[in-house]
Structure 1
Amino acid sequence: MEIVRQLLERCHTLGSDPRNTNYAGGNASAKGVATDPVTGSEVELMWVKGSGGDLGTLTESGLAVLRLDRLRALRDVYPGVEREDEMVAAFDYCLHGRGGAAPSIDTAMHGLVNAAHVDHLHPDAGIAIATAEDGPELTRRIFGDRVLWVPWRRPGFQLGLDIAAIKDENPQAIGVILGGHGITAWGDTSQECQDHSLEIIRTAERYLAEHGRPDPFGRRVYEPLPEAERHERAAALFPVIRGLVSTDRRQVGHYTDSPEVLEFLAGERHPELAALGTSCPDHFLRTKVAPLVLDLPPDAPLEAAVERLGELHAAYREEYRAYYERHATPDSPPMRGADPAIVLVPGVGMFSFGKDKQTARVAGEFYINAINVMRGAESVSRYRPIDEAEKFRIEYWELEEAKLRRMPPPKPLSTRVALVTGGGSGIGAATARRLAAEGACVVVADRDAAAAEKVAAEIGATALRPQDAAVAVTVDVTDEEQIVRAVRQAVLAFGGVDLVVNNAGLSLSRSLLETTVDDWDLQHNVMARGSFLVSRETARVMIDQGMGGDIVYIASKNSVFAGPNNVAYGAAKADQAHQVRLLAAELGEHGIRVNGVNPDGVVRGSGIFASGWGANRAAVYGVPEEKLGEFYAQRTLLKREVLPEHVAQAVFLLTQLSHTTGLHVPVDAGVPAAFLR
């Protein structure tokens, strides 16, 4: 339908510009006439963005479609503010047809306002006016009677009635500023509604730019560290912070050192403003009521910063529990967790956290929205968010709790960060894909940058942003500095490392007499030395996190089976196999499990076999190279060929064995000569 096309076009235009609204924030609607398929008569309908959707990427399936006669009839049965949550369930009885999205709490606002098209948005400039101490007067000064003020009211049916009444009483108005919350605009056509929304937003932006003080955050007291030093400091602190904020449940992290964040943290008033918390319901539902702020200068000794973060985290948890107890009623949902979602470190940046990378990243984006709001409000007035009791009512709103209950259960490796070496091909690529499919954030590490990027892009293809699912890092595992840099990149991408797969390898099939010292050194440097270096650097991170972890070595059947013409390869694999035992014994006290997988005959999709090893082994066994996989299969007990995906399956299963360490799992379809005991 044309009306739906226009609505979606308007949603995409408004939602694609972060100045207009935050991710998944706000909603838009259109009213029109359609034919009722039951009666054949015309019926008035409203199409409105449903619960949980995002304006910028909205599709028709994300719209809720409701009958206006039934929606408006709810006025007659509205039981009042104290029971208005019941009205959300009543929206289900107003739905037209099958499918579509669930109606959101803002449905009443759109249905009750007497306008063909309505937008509700959360622009930073608009919320700055909405949270200013003298917001009503500012609204009159900026907009005259073209845009009116609506005092704070929790989203719901009554707010819809309030806005509808103001619209009816003020025919000249194009919209309203919602105290503490955002804006709502309307129009007779979709284009007019969009124009009115943008007029409110751009007018507010111009006013703040022309009349705002240049130093809303006060005197600069903490200059940002230089970029290289800043990122090094962030990488050192991130695993510690991630471990702290995962006290109640494990979290994934996102690091931001954007100019907005660094400017806010440079000002002397940032502790005072941060303590006031965010205001717009969309903001604090993702950022919690307030962040944790490190109260040390950027150049404080690292050990002092770590110690102080621990103290502040303990105090934050106590205060959050006290906040919950101050406002909870007997029918409130149980406390969801007392850890912060946002941690601010002056001179370094912001660390945000969530159940996955997207949630963590979006939480950080919302706090930047909050910083922009504070800047705007403080530049022309004083920032005054809604009070604590109102924040609690929304944070622990039964409607929000119901939304959480509707979410699908987490995948087995949700909140885990995996680093896979040799991840650009063969077993490594299959393992990276499998771990990502099980919910992990994956760092694809490979010497071949293009191969690593390709695998990371494949993994991220279904994510909102590819980097939310996987990132690629270029690393030669024989180079200690490159490994340190790669691990740092992994930490800055996701907050830490929980699962390491030592898969990088190569093989040269030569007899003892033909094996050179260079052959020997190359294979030992990649597999024995490389695994040691990767394990050492990632173990440092896991210990700092304090959440345990997994290190899995992709060893080989050849670590225990003596075959011809592979002395360097077999010896290097035996070294890896014993590293598993040694590290399992050493790292167990930190909850880090170390296990191994012993594959054999992984021909198809194998980078090692494609690089010449396959041709050499085929010559040794006297079979055509294209038949090598079949040859290996026939010498096994199960008569099955081993594929990279089978090795990846073993890696995943090892991560699920919570009480197993020091184990080697054969993935060889049954080679008796390689039985471990």
Structure 2
Amino acid sequence: MATSKSRADGTAQKAQKTQKTRKAPKTQKTQRAGQTQKAAGRSRATTATAAASASAAAGRVRADDVVAELIGRSNRLGSDPTVTNYGGGNTSAKVRRPNPATGGETEVLYVKGSGGDLGTLTAKGLAELERDRLVELDGVYRGVAHEDEMVGLFPYCSFGTGGATPSIDTPMHALVDLPHVDHLHPDSVIALACAADGEKLVQQIWGGTVAWVPWQRPGWELGKMMREIAADPKVIGAVLGGHGMTAWGGSSDEVEKRSLKIIRDAAKFLSSKGKAEPFGAVVASRKALPAAQRRQRAAELMPYLRGIASTDRRMMGHFTDSPVVLDFLSRRKLNKLAELGTSCPDHFLRTKIRPLVLDTPPLAPIEKVTERLAELHAEYRKEYTEYYQRHADKNSPPMRGADPAIVLVPGVGMFSFGADKQTARVAGEFYVNAINVMHGAEAVSRYRPIAEADKFAVEYWQLEEDKLKRRPKPKALAGRIALVTGGASGIGLSTVQLLADQGACVAVADLNGARTAEIAAELGGPDVAIGVTMDVTDADQVADGVAETIRAFGGIDLIVNNAGITRAGSLADTTERDWDLQYDIMPRGSFLVAKAAEAALRGQGLGGDIINVCSKNAVFAGPNNIAYSSAKAAQEHMVRLLAAELGAIGVRVNGINPDGVVRGSGIFAGGWGASRAKTYGVAEEDLGKYYAQRTVLKQEVLPEHIAQAVLALTGGQLPITTGLVIPVDSGVPQAFLR
């Protein structure tokens, strides 16, 4: 999937999409009887494309300029949430360019490839196809019952290397005999597409300049319908029942203006003609909690919700409490509309056909909530399984899981789930789109999604299954949520970098909040990492940091207690403050983090890992280091104690004993290095080399060595190892474990 972009939730007046009937609708239902243009539709070009071709041949249109225009238009359209949703829609352009294989010219179709996103589209995301060969495929098309086989022929029409993988929407672009085509999913238009009397409303708004097309699943048949409709010069586009819209034009500027006109006309109609409260009256018991209380409640609930969403496979989570969501959850029609489910294919492919609505009071005791949640989850799984069994046949892909992707909690917000953070967030964005669609449809008509059988035919479409199979193999820590204390430097920084690289979502926790935010951005932003300001000696800050991690990603799976400090000194030199500070940060800090995370670890029921980064000093009685070494010994023994206690819920607890890690260390840079160098009689800059020479392997211990040990303990290679402390010290005989 393309790199995500941030999306606004949009206004409550946005709109909708529906879906499909497996049967191809008759062309006379498209409002343009008699305009078949069959022969011209199968020719290589119409007057418009011929003019564009002549212009190209004369040197007035350069292929690279056309592609640049297409990318610019796509990015503008895709970055506006009122125009299309993340990953939705396609844009295209046709232009003639020299063909190195023939020496002549070829009309090339550039169209957004499968799985891309308009807002972040680049030239690499375009499929490049020879249009004449695509059009000639009409000669082998065997009808709607066989249209899926056409997708397998698209690669044979590639121009050059072909670019990105062509999408199922390619025929909507290839068969239309105009140079530029936009296919978009704006909420305002989908509201009309999913309205019970959508065809009448489209006629009322545009008077025939925008066509109505009953639901038809994307494919060759829909492309043929678009070709026929676009042959009428009075028609600028079409509303696709249960789906979205398409517009076309003779130039990139013209099609963009037409697309935006259709979208704005639809939004204006919904705003001016729609009733004030299409979702019904507010229900007092469903009113939103105050913001702070709402967010705290979300952190309490989310691990339990993630647990049920992960019954079949581990999921990540996202929390949304925008005004649009909270208003919908407070209204009388919530249950009725939620039960109808989403309709547009782009919506329910990510949200499942309907959400789970948790009907307990917002502040009900957690025991009551989990009891009711278990009942609702069992009902949901049963209903989803029956839905699959009603429609599946011997050729259907296997059921992908019966757990909800969207959980709605009145008074609190919406919780969305997916295989990774981006997918979870996008699922939530799509349900916001669905809310806007329902709002618009109910405002001017009645929300009527496509039939359940049509939803199934898209959700379990073999072409969608093939797209899923093309996704890269998950990395070792995919689906895991990690919190690393002391994450802004040294061992902590190397650890967060490696965990993120291996697919985990990471909360970078440190006293230096500004630096943690920078690191999170460097790691990929909020779909990968967040920065958390945390003083591990402060129980409230620890609890808040754990809650922030849970709200950001859905729960917590992997804790690395790495925060540390040292104040060197003999018994005589060590003050009570030195002693207390080191014990507060290391053993007590590790205790506070584990304690704050325990409820979430238990609630989600997915097991987990706790790693204490201790020290070889935990077992090696070095000179003038009484407070630090004894604190590390306490932290190390905590590994064994927690391993014994938390094993019953599948949480493994292990430790790592490094030798002195000088490079990048905040501890050594803060005076500890100078103190140790003085103790050992070496220059401070040579301290790492000194430590290396006293080891068996004569190798300096680096931050990445400790990070690799964390990965070894948590990445699936040691699935039943707990209570273990691993020396990562290049071999210090005095610290060998016995």
TM-score range, shorter chain: over 0.9
1:281 is displaced (CA, Å) by 0.7
Which amino acid in 2 is paired with 1:579? M
1:357 aligns with 2:421: yes
What secondary structure does 1:353 align onto? Answer: strand
Matches within 5 A, 1:242-391: 242-391=306-455
- 2:693 equivalent in structure 1: 634
- 2:736 equivalent in structure 1: 675
Select 1:106's aligned residue among 158, 169, 183: 169
Select 1:207's aligned residue among 269, 275, 289: 269
For the residues of structure 2 that align with 1:96 and 1:358, how far apart are their CA atoms? 32
1:475 aligns with 2:526: no
For the residues of structure 2 that align with 1:112 and 1:597, how far apart are their CA atoms? 63
Which amino acid in 1 is paired with 2:677? A
1:31, 1:44 within 8 Å by CA — same for their partners in 2? yes
1:425, 1:451 within 8 Å by CA — same for their partners in 2? no
1:279 is displaced (CA, Å) by 1.0
What secondary structure does 2:312 align onto? Answer: coil
What TM-score, normalized to structure 2? 0.90
For the residues of structure 1 that align with 2:107 and 2:506, how far apart are their CA atoms? 49
Matches within 5 A, 1:14-25: 14-25=77-88
1:306 is displaced (CA, Å) by 2.0
What secondary structure does 1:275 align onto? Answer: helix
- 1:528 equivalent in structure 2: 587
Which amino acid in 2 is paired with 1:87? M
Which amino acid in 2 is paired with 1:575? A
Cα deviations by residue, 1:102-143 (Å, 9 ceiling, x for unpaired): 110000010111211100000000100000000000000011
Which amino acid in 2 is paired with 1:597? I
Cα deviations by residue, 1:267-286 (Å, 9 ceiling, x for unpaired): 11011101111111111100
Select 1:442's aligned residue among 506, 520, 531: 506
For the residues of structure 2 that align with 1:604 and 1:68, how far apart are their CA atoms? 59
Matched residues, number: 671
1:150, 1:177 within 8 Å by CA — same for their partners in 2? yes
Which amino acid in 1 is paired with 2:359? D
Select 1:413's aligned residue among 471, 477, 487: 477
- 1:587 equivalent in structure 2: 646
For the residues of structure 2 that align with 1:27 and 1:124, how far apart are their CA atoms? 16
Select 1:558's aligned residue among 611, 614, 617: 617
- 1:542 equivalent in structure 2: 601
For the residues of structure 2 that align with 1:516 and 1:552, how far apart are their CA atoms? 29
1:195 aligns with 2:254: no
Unpaired stretches in structure 1, ≥5 consecutive residues: 461-465
- 1:497 equivalent in structure 2: 556
- 1:63 equivalent in structure 2: 126
- 1:463 equivalent in structure 2: none
2:657, 2:729 within 8 Å by CA — same for their partners in 1? yes
Select 1:91's aligned residue among 154, 172, 176: 154
Select 1:237's aligned residue among 279, 291, 301: 301
What secondary structure does 1:148 align onto? Answer: strand
Which amino acid in 1 is paired with 2:209? R
For the residues of structure 2 that align with 1:63 and 1:454, how far apart are their CA atoms? 33
For the residues of structure 2 that align with 1:104 and 1:385, how far apart are their CA atoms? 24
Identity, in percent, stands at 62
Which amino acid in 2 is paired with 1:273? L
1:171 is displaced (CA, Å) by 2.2
What secondary structure does 1:500 align onto? Answer: strand
What secondary structure does 2:570 align onto? Answer: coil
Cα deviations by residue, 1:135-194 (Å, 9 ceiling, x for unpaired): 0000000111110100101000001111211222x3201000000000000001110000
For the residues of structure 1 that align with 2:432 and 2:505, how far apart are their CA atoms? 24
Matches within 5 A, 1:151-162: 151-162=214-225
For the residues of structure 2 that align with 1:302 and 1:562, how far apart are their CA atoms? 47
1:537 is displaced (CA, Å) by 1.0
2:129, 2:162 within 8 Å by CA — same for their partners in 1? no
2:147, 2:221 within 8 Å by CA — same for their partners in 1? yes
- 2:9 equivalent in structure 1: none
For the residues of structure 1 that align with 2:99 and 2:492, how far apart are their CA atoms? 56
Select 1:652's aligned residue among 693, 700, 711: 711
For the residues of structure 2 that align with 1:447 and 1:388, how far apart are their CA atoms? 52
For the residues of structure 2 that align with 1:39 and 1:389, how far apart are their CA atoms? 47
Select 2:236's aligned residue among 174, 184, 191: 174
1:6, 1:190 within 8 Å by CA — same for their partners in 2? yes
For the residues of structure 1 that align with 2:631 and 2:726, how far apart are their CA atoms? 18
1:61, 1:99 within 8 Å by CA — same for their partners in 2? no
- 2:57 equivalent in structure 1: none
Which amino acid in 2 is paired with 1:53? G
What secondary structure does 2:430 align onto? Answer: helix
1:541 is displaced (CA, Å) by 1.1
2:230, 2:248 within 8 Å by CA — same for their partners in 1? no
For the residues of structure 2 that align with 1:312 and 1:511, how far apart are their CA atoms? 61
2:618, 2:630 within 8 Å by CA — same for their partners in 1? yes
For the residues of structure 2 that align with 1:218 and 1:297, how far apart are their CA atoms? 20
1:27 aligns with 2:90: yes
Which amino acid in 2 is paired with 1:176? A
Cα deviations by residue, 1:279-327 (Å, 9 ceiling, x for unpaired): 1111110001100011223243332222111110111011110000000
Which amino acid in 2 is paired with 1:197? S
What secondary structure does 1:97 align onto? Answer: strand
Which amino acid in 2 is paired with 1:669? S
For the residues of structure 1 that align with 2:735 and 2:326, how far apart are their CA atoms? 57
1:623 aligns with 2:682: yes
For the residues of structure 2 that align with 1:482 and 1:14, how far apart are their CA atoms? 42
For the residues of structure 1 that align with 2:604 and 2:365, how far apart are their CA atoms? 19
- 1:79 equivalent in structure 2: 142
- 1:401 equivalent in structure 2: 465
For the residues of structure 2 that align with 1:306 and 1:214, how far apart are their CA atoms? 36
Which amino acid in 2 is paired with 1:668? D
1:455 is displaced (CA, Å) by 1.8
Which amino acid in 2 is paired with 1:212? G
- 2:578 equivalent in structure 1: 519
Select 1:612's aligned residue among 661, 671, 694: 671
Which amino acid in 1 is paired with 2:540? E
Cα RMSD over matched residues?
Answer: 0.8
1:346 is displaced (CA, Å) by 0.3
Which amino acid in 2 is paired with 1:218? G
1:186 aligns with 2:248: yes
For the residues of structure 2 that align with 1:386 and 1:66, how far apart are their CA atoms? 32
2:94, 2:110 within 8 Å by CA — same for their partners in 1? yes
For the residues of structure 1 that align with 2:523 and 2:255, how far apart are their CA atoms? 39
For the residues of structure 2 that align with 1:56 and 1:473, how far apart are their CA atoms? 29
Select 1:430's aligned residue among 474, 494, 498: 494
1:454 is displaced (CA, Å) by 2.3
What secondary structure does 1:661 align onto? Answer: coil
1:99 is displaced (CA, Å) by 4.7
Which amino acid in 1 is paired with 2:589? G
Which amino acid in 2 is paired with 1:362? V
For the residues of structure 1 that align with 2:335 and 2:702, how far apart are their CA atoms? 56
What secondary structure does 1:85 align onto? Answer: helix
Select 2:109's aligned residue among 19, 31, 46: 46
Cα deviations by residue, 1:622-656 (Å, 9 ceiling, x for unpaired): 11010010010011010000000000000110113
- 1:223 equivalent in structure 2: 287
2:128, 2:162 within 8 Å by CA — same for their partners in 1? no
- Range that drifts further, 294-303 or 202-211: 294-303
